[in-house]
Structure 1
Amino acid sequence: MSERVQNRSAGQSPGTKAERRLAAQLAAKKAAEAKRRRQSILGAFVGVLAVAGLIGGIVWKNSGDDDKPASTAASASASAAPSAEPTAPPAPQLPADIDPALKTKPTVEAGKGELKKLTVTTLVKGKGAAVKAGQQITTNYVGVFYKDGKEFDASWNNGQPATFPIGVGQVIPGWDQGLVGVPVGSRVQLDIPAELAYGNNAAGGRPAGPLRFVVDVLAAQ
């Protein structure tokens, strides 16, 4: 009997099995906690890398902007700046003693009879030098149809005189022929037959047939 007792004491008792089970549970718990700690540390490390990468990207972008050549930055500033206004040509010198009549728009009536040739009628004679071919002249004018007096154009309506070369084919022949030789400061009436104007079948909105203009010659240079 004492031998059986000794054999049972040397084997595994129920208390010993319970302790082993408890030890196994504790070991598993510790392993799980260690795994969670490793995952937490790994996650924190990944987060640090991500933040570092983001900061590095911003620094790289800013440094890239700073490294751009000065000429590129200057051209960008130039393109953003408003363009300069074109330089206006110098204003023509109007005669100091210009006739007061030339300061108001004239009333132009229709012509009478059949117009067969260019007719120049002086309404106000200026005191300036005679206009020469090739000069730039500054004028105010009113244009009407010779037959009915209906206005089709007038510089007065634009609020600004018209400047153009004269006697060199830049305007209709009736103007080139009728205004050369007119003294500056004059107001003249030009009755122009169709062949010296835009013709009898003018296209593009141009006035057809004989025309009448009243032209004020304000300057020539």
Structure 2
Amino acid sequence: MNKLKRTEMFQRFQAANPAPKTELEYASDFELLAAVLLSAQATDKGVNLATRKLFPVANTPAAMATLGIEGIESYIKTIGLYKSKAKHLYETSVILRDQYAGVVPQSREALEQLPGVGRKTANVVLNTAFGQPTMAVDTHIFRVSNRTGLAPGKDVLAVEKKLLKVIPGEFMLNAHHWLILHGRYVCKARSPECKKCNVQDLCDYKLKNL
């Protein structure tokens, strides 16, 4: 995909959805961090169902730490890998409470030192909470980038670096959300809905379902 096609792709995404947002529900930087931490190998819908009960009880690092691991587990049992996630969320909350005065840090290095927070989670928080032009490559973005020819790569890091290089700067802040939503609802893994895709004429996918 060349530069003109990439620009046109994101112009269309922008026209269709001028202000894309994450589907995770949150009301603070900490709630976003917690929700993203819980979302690994889980759906946003499933995470939201759990956090709607959890956040009214514990929406700060101090309150979350007070719950303890078992307390957190009791709210997130419906989420996959809930035991390890409860442990990570508790430990992260303790660190934020004791070392950062309850404030979520705005640097990748600090975020990635928190238990359960990897590069993808850090990128989501930096982009969504702090408006930094990062790219969190999940399975949807990895698929869309390779299938369309937007930014082919053998692994998520290669795709992330390619996207940061080729996406026009004026679209970078929202590109993460546009690509996730496109992969989730249109460019699906098993049966891409090419007929309703607004960028199918720009796409390099040879097996278009038209």
TM-score normalised by L of structure 1? 0.19
Rg larger for: 1
- What TM-score do you get using the length of structure 2 for normalisation? 0.20
Q: Larger % of helix: which? A: 2
Between Structure 1 and Structure 2, the one with more strand by share is: 1
